[in-house]
Structure 1
Amino acid sequence: MGLFNATQTDPATVARDYAPVLIEGERVLIAFKTIRDLVFLTNYRLCTVNVQGLTGRKVEIESIPYKSITRWSIERAGTFDMDADLTVWVSGAEQPLEVKVSASANIVGVQQVLAHHILGGGR
């Protein structure tokens, strides 16, 4: 799944909207959304939300535990590049997950969340 032209959004709103899929003690740390789709990182996993169909009633939520992420990269927006990039490789997946976020988004914050939970084993 690729998510393009995403903007940073309020983690508290995402936590409220997706409370049924969160487990006890799970917190949304950072989130990005497009008009319909969403990517958010919690203290346990990375989740993608893919809204499908014309009505948007069909929704796919994919959970990727941090232990399944084998590597990641971030690229900050440049002078002529209007978005920042996050690429995440997941074990068993042929293609990486790609997220393009607005230049104003906290892409370094994403790097910190991933590093803390993958390398540091933090919760």
Structure 2
Amino acid sequence: MGLLDGLMGHASDADTKKIGEKLEGILLPEEEVRLAFNVLRDFFVFTDLRFMIVDVQGMTGKKTNYLTIPYGSISRFSLETAGSFDLEAELRIWLSGEDQPIERTLGKGVDTKGIQQALAAGTLR
């Protein structure tokens, strides 16, 4: 991911092992990180049990918000892939009882098929 992509809020693939280490003590002992994406200091994660959005706050980054979304709370999702002129993909996830989706912009080259599989595996069980 280039700095410009990060500044524009575009997510890029992250190393699942490193993200798993950052989430040590938060994830369940048997929980496995399947996919992870960075947006500057923030990241979002698909585990075998849940979807998480991690928002690192403040100048020092000591304050962090961990939003856990059980796959059972996801009522629907869409993933619009990048095209020739639109170089970014768009992920939208609707939660039960919510009108507005959670939206994330994904940079070029992000594993959109992997995201589709992770969400399908979690929500269609």
Provide TM-score, normalisation by structure 2.
Answer: 0.89
Cα distance in 2, alignment partners of residues 27 and 86 from structure 1: 22
User: Structure 2 regions of 5+ residues with no counterpart?
Assistant: 1-7
3-state SS in 2 of match to 1:21: coil
* 2:76 equivalent to 1:71: yes
Give, in angstroms, the shift of residue 62 of structure 1: 0.4
Cα distance in 1, alignment partners of residues 61 and 29 from structure 2: 27
Give, in angstroms, the shift of residue 93 of structure 1: 3.3
Cα distance in 1, alignment partners of residues 112 and 20 from structure 2: 20
Q: 2:60 aligns with which of 31, 55, 58?
A: 55
Q: Would you say the 8 A contact 1:86–1:107 is kept in 2?
A: no
User: Structure 1 regions of 5+ residues with no counterpart?
Assistant: none
3-state SS in 1 of match to 2:54: strand
Aligned residue in 1 for 2:28: 23
Query: Identity percentage over the alignment?
Result: 37
2:36 aligned partner, one-letter code = A
Aligned residue in 2 for 1:83: 88
How many pairs are equivalent? 118
Give, in angstroms, the shift of residue 94 of structure 1: 4.2
3-state SS in 1 of match to 2:25: helix
Give runs of ≥4 in structure 1 deviating > 2 Å: 92-95
Q: Deviations over 1:25-70 (max 9, x none)?
A: 1000001111111000000000000111122111000000000000
3-state SS in 1 of match to 2:9: strand
